[in-house]
Amino acid sequence: MRRARIRCATAALVALALAAAPARAWLAEGHRAAVRGALRLLPADLPESFSGAGETLADLAVDPDLFRNPATPALAGSEAIEHYLDVERLADGAWPASRAEHLASLQARGLAPAEAGSLPWAIEEASERLTVAFALLRRDGGDAAARAQALVQGGRVAHHAADAIQPLHTTVHHDGWALPLGGSPLEGHHVRVDALLERVRFDREGALAGVEARAFADTAAAVRSEILASHALIDRTYRLAPLLARPEGYARPEAIAYACERYAAAARFVASLWLTAWERSARLELPDWARQTAKE
């Protein structure tokens, strides 16, 4: 964390020297930026069909937000809960081992899934789908369907992993401090924080100096650790509220340092999940019927 603060303090000075007018907010660009950063951190041994498809992966990382469209209500209802976890809703701070256990715990306490979210399990499940796609690619690098599946699941992993790095995706206080009866005051701070990665100018290459992607020994534990680390930043995130309420606030050193740190964390987490899926795919056994082309 200390190294990240030093890197990002330097990036803040560079950004202040550049001092440009605020960019137009476009929330999708934050997810694209996280993907581009993650690709910088990947080792060379991942398939070129994956690591070389940067802009495709970047676009696919945006798609999970498209699935929350009110015009597709059946999909939007199930998709929305995949993007957050209100840590305060976990029973006695206990972390369920699976989505099923999480939902059962909520039901036992009279809570609907939407009152807590399911972000950790969305990350874990997408990571395992990516592992399967990578295993198919290891068996046949020319498998077009496996290439496509790897990109789709890689994009989904990237989206949800980046969501986990945004502290307001981990709390009941997601858009202002929660009201006494549990609702949100909808102050607008959430969307202003979401816009940081695209509105704040900083040295993105410098932000990743010394940052490494590492395969996780335990994906579930790593996901839990990242979400809790984000959750610990809620107070700091709200201290930015007065700054981000004004367009010029995005050029302040505090906002630049925060955006820089969250960008580096998102890139590292996404790249580490991809790398974990790739390494685990080497140990995954596939049935003979998985691809007809493999028999021909």
Mean pLDDT computed over 198-211: 95
pLDDT-based confidence at residue 5 (cuts at 50, 70, 90)? low
Q: Is 64 exposed, middle or buried, given 0-12, 13-18 or 19+ CB atoms closer than 10 A?
A: buried
Instruction: Please check whether the domain covering 2-295 is classified as CATH 1.10.4030.
Output: no
Residue pair 293/189 in contact (Cβ under 8 Å)? The answer is: no
Give residue 193's pLDDT. Answer: 96
pLDDT in tens, 207-225: 999 999 999 999 999 999 9
- DSSP secondary structure of the chain: -HHHHHHHHHHHHHHHHH--PPPPP-THHHHHHHHHHHHHH--TTS-HHHHT-HHHHHHHTTHHHHTT-TTSHHHHHHHGGGG---GGGSGGG---SSHHHHHHHHHHTT--GGGT--HHHHHHHHHHHHHHHHHHHHH-TT-HHHHHHHHHHHHHHHHHHHHHHSGGGSSS-BTBSPPTTS-----SHHHHHHTHHHHS---HHHHTTT------S-HHHHHHHHHHHHHTTHHHHHHTHHHHTSGGGGGSHHHHHHHHHHHHHHHHHHHHHHHHHHHHHTT----GGG-GGGG-
Reply yes or no on whether the pLDDT at 183 is more than 70: yes
What pLDDT does 206 receive? Answer: 97
Listed residue (279, 275, 264, 185) closest to 229, CA to CA:
264
Give the C-alpha separation, 244 to 233, whole Å: 16
Q: Is the pLDDT of residue 238 over 60?
A: yes
Helices 119-139/144-165 angle, 10° precision: 150
- What is the rounded average pLDDT of the residues 145-174? 97
Check residue 18 and give its pLDDT. 34
168 exposure class (CB count in 10 Å sphere: 0-12, 13-18, 19+): buried
- Is it the case that residue 86 has pLDDT exceeding 70? yes
pLDDT(61) > 70? yes
Domain boundaries, the chain: 2-295
Q: What is the average per-residue pLDDT within 118-122?
A: 98
Please give the structure tokens belonging to residue 17: 């020297």
Model's pTM, two decimal places?
Answer: 0.90
Whether the CB-CB separation of 193 and 237 falls below 8 Å is answered with yes
Q: Say what the pLDDT of residue 144 is.
A: 96
Residue 17: how many other CB atoms lie within 10 Å: 8
- DSSP string of 194-250? HTHHHHS---HHHHTTT------S-HHHHHHHHHHHHHTTHHHHHHTHHHHTSGGGG
